[in-house]
Amino acid sequence: MTTIEIPVADRTPRGTRPPRPGGRALNVIVWGLQIGLAVIMVLAPLPKLTGDYAAVTEFNKIGAPDWFRYFTGGLEIAGGLALLVPRLAGYAAILLAVIMVGAIVAHLTVMTPAVFALVPAVMMVLFGVIARYRLSHSRRRTAQPGL
């Protein structure tokens, strides 16, 4: 008598997700990171949008027009809010990481002291972690039919 083996993927009930690498604890950590960075990215650009003297001075130092200050602040807020939307979180993290690259360049070339470039550098790494985790998860989910 022969036995038929059913592949493991077929044993998973429809509507359930396969376990993620790192499991539930890693997912909770990444969500905590997303929420914390979302709060920062919604609150930190407010001085840019309200015309705060320090923000205006910083953008004048790098030679950027006023519209660019508003544009950057708006992108930061939109990205911060999008971090809280599961389908957008990975893409928002990429957007915010690119914005942080610009902040790093500005701090290293024009603004003083250059040590302040560490803050956007750390944030860029954290956004990279979020993007890697969220985008790899969404690819795994779409690669499995029926889930």
Dump pLDDT digits (tens) for 70-110: 999 999 999 999 999 999 999 999 999 999 999 999 999 99
Read off the tokens for 75: 């992108």
Q: What three-state secondary structure class fits 82?
A: helix
Kindly list the distances between the CA atom of residue 16 and the CA atoms of 57, 96, 137, in Å, as whole numbers in the listed order: 52, 31, 14
Cα–Cα distance, 122 to 139 (Å, whole number): 26
Flag whether pLDDT at 54 surpasses 80. yes
Residue 137 is predicted with a pLDDT of 74
pTM above 0.85, yes or no: no
Residue ranges per structural domain of the chain: 23-139
